[in-house]
Amino acid sequence: QKEVEQNSGPLSVPEGAIASLNCTYSDRGSQSFFWYRQYSGKSPELIMSIYSNGDKEDGRFTAQLNKASQYVSLLIRDSQPSDSATYLCAVTGYSGNTPLVFGKGTRLSVIA
């Protein structure tokens, strides 16, 4: 049974700070890792994907993957109130049309 674990939060950070979101997964064979953002009442929106160990940066977002530790994280720099949402970590096993296994999500609140 594949599992993806996240702290539920809420994680509160002041505006302009770095928000750090963490995720661990149980399946050592997992290949693909994603971060989705979900605003209340909306569907998940893909913000980052990462496939190999190390860091991947996209604007204010940086995803970090460590397969040996089965750990993936998301850093949000210069956090804005509009970043306040639930962040879902998702993992797949093998490449190509495989279902996503989601964590329960971390609720982030950015305080102005």
Residues of this chain that interact with another protein (CB under 8 A) are 31-32, 34, 36, 42-46, 49, 51, 88, 92, 95-105
Least distance CB 78 / another protein (angstroms): 25
Least distance CB 88 / another protein (angstroms): 6
R_g of the chain, CA atoms, integer Å: 13
d(CA 93, CA 26): 11
State CA 69 to chain mean position distance: 16
By beta-carbon proximity to another protein, the closer residue of 69 and 95 is 95
